[in-house]
Structure 1
Amino acid sequence: MKPRLRFAPSPTGYLHIGGARSALYNWLWARKTGGTFVLRIEDTDRKRSTEESVQAIFDALTWLGLDWDEGPGKGGDHGPYFQTERLELYRKHADALVESGHAYRCYATKEQLAEAREAFQKEHGRQGFKYPGWWRDKGPSDWPDDQPFVYRIKVPKEGATGWDDLVKGRIEIGHSEMQDEVLLRSDGVPLYNFGCVVDDLEMGITLVARGDDHMINTPVQILLYQAMGAEPPQFAHMPMILDERGKKMSKRDDAGSVEVYEERGFVPDGVVNYLARLGWSHGDQELFTREELIEAFDWASVGKEGARYDEKKFLSVQAHHLREIPGPALAKAALPFAKKNGLEIDPGDPRLVPAVETVRQRAETLVEVADMIDYYFRETPTPDEKATKKFLKAKFAEPVRKYRALLAAQDAFDRESLEAVTKAWMEKNDIGFKDYAQAVRVSLSGRSATPGLFEVMEVLGKERCLARLDAGVAAMEARAD
């Protein structure tokens, strides 16, 4: 049977990069093995789950290119794929567990549990209260009428539960460390472990791959599978993503959500590459295409310890993938970021792709691409005050005027021709062009740092170059220095 894997986020906020990496590893394995990647929404936290968060998860996965085979919007034979639409199923399984003796109804009230917890803390001076099993051995004849109850698992009092984790190796947890935890609340809503097992069982999931913060849940989940007469799936627990200080990265961190990277102008392939390497290795290789990741990924090479986030490395990987994007696609991707800067660029403008090509090797993000091509498309460039003050000086007005006259006489306005005629002109007139080249650059772009000057001039075109040099000369002549 081919593998069936799933990603089951809770829609209580934006998609965290830890969740995105979990989705990615599941997706990679499904694609490598010809398996099925299922998306399930665990929306039982009714206070915190929102439609906006559900859509944010869909949008983030779609942006990353992690397409799911079954789930919301795709359908499948194992739906519905929202837990709140599966409540009758959980009740059915809970009743079956009670009937088979693996679970029981618990009528303990919140007040009774609070008193017992407080007494434990007073006696022991610490947290760690475990439900004492008051209703563990009681049956239908003991059940009070018209009183709310929860379902609890009946954990064996002796022995241990273990599994061979695809990442962590052999793990065993003694039953004495566990407790009879709640499976189903009185309102019929399952707690995480029970809902997760019922859904994974009903959906035929063969491998549960998730963050290692879920390892604490695995023993009781295995007991539930066994109680239901089912073979547990394989488990793979991935290392946590740590911030640059070595602490667990949370959704509140600036670098925590996928949406942050989309807004910063990262490209999906760059994010996928970096997240894949954040906890997994393939020799010394750092850069991967999506196809290479699918071919190379395996669970044996996933690390056991926390993976530390590195902003500089992320940017480096991201920049590599940005520079691999063909010019027309890169230009199209940069347009929304130009619009955020208040610049509407016609997608059909013949200058667009050439402009993008001039900054390809300089920019690390789409935000930078949009910023670096800005002056090509404005009526007049937005001047950088420091650059203007430093380079548009009165003493440069005359040489720039002469250079402007040289350009006006040229018919060919490509970079090679411009460079050749400029070089010949400098040699003939014994002029050191570099002495006032920055005045030309700032006049054309408003900036002191741009791609090669002749590249800039070629993209701007003759008419715009002459007009901007005229404005630059006027600004220089207006200076008193």
Structure 2
Amino acid sequence: MSDSTTSRPVRLRVAPSPTGDPHVGTAYMSMFDLAFARQQGGQFVLRIEDTDRARYQADSEQQIFDTLHWLGLGWDEGPDIGGPYAPYRQSERLDTYRPYVERLLAEGKAYHCWCTGERLKEMRERQQALKQPTGYDRMCLGKTAEERAQLPGYSETPVVRMLIPDDAPTTFTDLIRGEVSAPRPDDQVILKADGFPTYHLAVVVDDHEMGITHVVRGEEWISSTPKHVLLYQWLGLPEPAFAHMPLLRDEKKAKISKRKSPWARLTWFREQGYLPEALLNFLALLGYPPVIERGEDGQQVEREVFDFAEFTERFDWAKVNTVGPIFNLEKLNWLNGHYIRELEVGELASRLLPFLQDAGVLGPQPTLPELGRLRAVTELVQTRIVTLTEAVPLIAPFYTGDADLEIAEDARGQLKDTAEQVLTAALAVLDPIDGTAGTPLGEGVEWTTERIETALREALVDGLGIKPRLAFGPLRTAVSGARVSPPLFESMEILGKASTMARLTRLRDELAATSD
């Protein structure tokens, strides 16, 4: 790291490629970037590295914007909002890279290569067969296009390669790892035949042009850093500080990939109903230690729940874990459940609403009574869900017509021979209780949780002598259509007397018909 890095305003960037659903690693890097930038009073930049045109997907860029915004990882400059170093898409910066390439060619630090892909493939296979180090054999070095055309494997459109010297630097200082050694680099292609720069040139030029002081990326880029350091030195540019984060790994300790793991897609977490604050907390714990506090007994204890503001306040590169963490979904589920339980009921209802609308449980413009019922049901399910999607089947029966409620096969199958008797007794004891479905409970209305529970326990548990589980199972099935549901008596109160009685009657009659 050069001295000029420390004297410049802190500027960090994340630079994802729009090649499909955003990778969870984009959020992982972004939160560390943003935490340090905010702690130091600097800026956080979003740059789109779209030079890989073969894998480019047009809708991916918007997904990057949407998912990072969903997580609250906002940027100060980027393609969507502009900034003093625009444009922020590499495909719009092609004229920026060409002068750097021409300078390297003129100074003999780069050269044209006309080798076809087939020729390069044969070269690598031959090197591997002979157990030689793989790397470009410099067939094109020092030759004109005419001279090279006389040899096999010639392409009329050349690429440009770096000419790596024998004394190329192979060590550098890393903010997380200290002194790091990397392999001697190959003659890396820096300009492709289509005129687009490769990552290695573009990242150096863009980071310099945009004043980036700290480059944070995955540890898989350690082997490429000597190439970048060499380009900084050749071009006389100040080097940024490097921080190579540990790779996120799956349960088999392999680098996570979108091809193998659905949760490698950043959009997956939103689809599954994880809260952004829980995901940020989880990602922080993958690369950073928990908060250490003093317990009541004076002993040190770990606290794993913390928000992004606290993470930012205590951030220190020296504390970042250097060992690739295992992506433990059980820990994420635990955190998500904790954050769900901590939400105010109205806030949780608001977060559940889009999932219910997507599932067709509620329409695009819910009525005030529907929203009021949602708040009441949310309070029932809040402690029973780990993700927002888990609430959908629990809430759906409250918005289903009594005649349309489907009884799940597993719920129907667990009914005992006493179910018809239980339902008949329940209907008899509930009938005298006053109550009007769909209206707020008020003075003189007895259709309350307490009144319902008292009546049913007296009639079924005490009167029929049936154990509570067997006594209330048929009622739960009739009311919700499922084996697992929100608390029974509270559900009956929310549904109202009319719907509750209709559902109990329907199942009772079905059972009676099948027993005849």
Amino acid at match of 1:443: A
1:441 equivalent in structure 2: 476
- CA gap of 1:273–1:341, structure 2 versus 1, over 3 A, is same
Distance in 1 of aligned mates of 2:210 and 2:361: 49
Map of 1:467 onto structure 2: 502
Q: Does the residue aligned with 1:199 lie in a helix, a strand or coil?
A: helix
Q: Equivalent residue for 1:63?
A: 70
- Taking only aligned residues, the RMSD between alpha carbons, in angstroms, comes to 2.9
Cα deviation for residue 400 of structure 1 reads: 1.9
Question: Are 2:178 and 1:169 equivalent residues in the alignment?
Answer: yes
Q: Which amino acid aligns with 1:212?
A: E
1:325 to 340, 343, 346: 343
Question: In the alignment, what sits opposite 1:78?
Answer: 85
* 1:251-273, Cα deviation, whole Å (9 max, x unpaired): 11222101112111112112111
Summarize the Cα distance change of 1:114–1:336 in structure 2 as closer, same or farther, 3 Å threshold: closer
Whether the 8 Å contact between 2:182 and 2:222 is mirrored in structure 1 is: no
- The aligned runs of 1:174-253 (5 Å cut-off) are 177-252=184-259, 253=261
1:364-392 deviations in Å (ceiling 9; x for gaps): 11111112111111112321223224337
Aligned to 1:266: 274
Q: How much does 1:71 deviate?
A: 0.6
Deviation for aligned residue 1:317: 1.2
Shift in Å at residue 114 of structure 1? 5.7
Contact 1:387 1:446 in 2 (8 A): yes
CA distance in 1, matches of 2:132, 2:462: 89
Instruction: Name which of structure 1's ranges 464-473 and 216-225 shifts more when overlaid on structure 2.
Output: 464-473
Deviation, 1:44, is: 0.7
Report how far residue 428 of structure 1 moved: 8.4
Whether 1:105 aligns to 2:111 is: yes
Query: Which amino acid in 2 is paired with 1:360?
Result: Q
- Per-residue deviation at 1:148? 4.3
8 Å Cα contact 1:211-1:237 kept in structure 2: yes
Letter in 2 for 1:266: Y
In structure 2, the residue corresponding to 1:459 is in which secondary structure?
A: helix
CA-CA distance at 1:429 after TM superposition: 5.3
Q: 2:427 touches 2:501 (CA, 8 Å); kept in 1? A: no
1:121–1:129 Cα contact (<8 Å) kept? no
In structure 2, C-alpha distance between the alignment counterparts of 1:132 and 1:397, rounded to whole Å: 86
Flag the 1:139–1:163 CA change in 2: closer, same or farther, 3 A: farther
Q: Residue 113 and residue 362 in structure 1: after superposition, are their counterparts in 2 closer, same or farther (change >3 A)? A: closer
Distance 1:463 1:290, change over 3 A: farther
**Cross-structure match for 1:373:** 395
2:141 alignment counterpart: 135
Aligned-residue offset at 1:449: 2.4
Aligned length: 475
Q: Which residue of 2 aligns with 1:156?
A: 165
Letter in 2 for 1:2: P
CA contact (8 A) 2:434 2:446 kept: no
Distance 1:118 1:265, change over 3 A: closer
Q: Does 1:2 align with 2:26?
A: no
Q: Comparing 90-99 with 338-347, which one deviates more in the overlay?
A: 338-347
**Counterparts in 2 of 1:308-347, with a 5 A limit?**
308-345=326-363, 346=366
**Do structure 1's residue 254 and structure 2's residue 255 form an aligned pair?**
no
| Residue in structure 2 matched with residue 387 of structure 1 by the alignment | 411
**1:118 & 1:433 partners in 2: Cα distance?**
74
CA distance in structure 2 between the aligned counterparts of 1:428 and 1:150, rounded to whole angstroms: 87
Q: 1:186 to 1:480 in 2, by over 3 A?
A: closer
The counterpart of 2:492, out of the listed 454, 457, 461, is 457
Moved more, 279-288 or 209-218: 279-288
Work out whether 1:415 is the aligned partner of 2:415. no
1:314 maps to amino acid: L
The answer for unaligned runs of 5 or more in structure 2 is 1-7, 150-154, 293-301, 436-443
Query: 1:10-56, CA deviations, whole angstroms, 9 ceiling, x for partnerless residues?
Result: 11111111222112221222222222111111111112112112222
CA contact (8 A) 1:104 1:152 kept: yes
Q: Which moved more, 1:406-415 or 1:360-369?
A: 406-415
Aligned residue type for 1:414: T
The question of whether the paired residues in 1 share the 8 Å contact of 2:423 and 2:504 is answered with: no
Deviation at 1:441, TM superposition (A): 1.8
**Amino acid across the alignment from 1:261:** F
Partner of 2:501, secondary structure, is helix
Residues 426-456 of structure 1 deviation map (CA, whole Å, 9 limit, x = unaligned) = 7985865724222222221122322322211
Q: TM-score, normalised by structure 2?
A: 0.84
Q: Does 1:276 align with 2:264?
A: no
After superposition, the C-alpha distances for 1:112-139 in whole angstroms (9 at most, x for unaligned) are 65665565445x2456133337536x89
Q: Is the 8 A contact 1:394 1:480 kept in 2?
A: no
**How many angstroms does 1:275 deviate by?**
1.4
Q: How much has 1:209 moved relative to structure 2?
A: 0.4
The answer as to whether partners of 1:211 and 1:239 remain within 8 angstroms in 2 is: yes
- The alpha-carbon distance between structure 1 residues 430 and 183, as it changes in their structure 2 partners (threshold 3 A), is closer
Give the whole-Å Cα distance in 2 for the aligned partners of 1:30 and 1:227.
Answer: 28
Question: Given the alignment of the two structures, is residue 28 of structure 1 paired with residue 35 of structure 2, yes or no?
Answer: yes
Aligned pair partner of 2:378 in 347, 351, 356: 356
TM-score, length-normalised on structure 1? 0.90
Aligned amino acid, residue 273 of structure 1: N
Separation of aligned partners in 2, 1:13 and 1:430: 61
**Secondary structure of the equivalent of 2:244?**
strand
Residue by residue over 1:310-356, the C-alpha shift from the partner in whole angstroms, topping out at 9 and shown as x without a partner, is: 12111111222222232223222222322343322525322110101
SS in 1 for 2:287: coil
Preserved CA contact (<8 Å) 2:168 2:226: no
Q: 1:93 to 1:468 in 2, by over 3 A?
A: same
| Residues in 1 aligned to 2:223 and 2:316: alpha-carbon distance in whole angstroms | 24
SS at match of 2:70: helix
Letter in 1 for 2:172: W
**Partners of 1:197 and 1:224 within 8 A in 2:** yes
CA contact (8 A) 1:208 1:235 kept: yes
Q: 2:68 is matched by which residue type in structure 1?
A: L
CA change 1:189–1:462 in 2 (3 A) is same
CA contact (8 A) 1:239 1:279 kept: yes
* SS of residue paired to 1:179: coil
Relative to structure 1, the CA distance from residue 95 to residue 382 in structure 2 (aligned partners, 3 Å threshold; closer, same or farther) is same
Equivalent-residue separation in structure 2 for 1:263 and 1:344 (angstroms): 17
Q: Percent identity?
A: 35
Supply the AA of the counterpart residue of 2:136: K
Letter in 2 for 1:372: L
State the shift of 1:238 in Å: 0.7
Q: Secondary structure at the match of 1:65?
A: coil
Query: What amino acid does structure 2 have at the position aligned with 1:270?
Result: A
Distance in 2, matches of 1:147 and 1:79, equals: 34
Work out the CA distance in 2 between the residues paired with 1:291 and 1:50: 34
Quote the offset at 1:108 in angstroms: 4.0
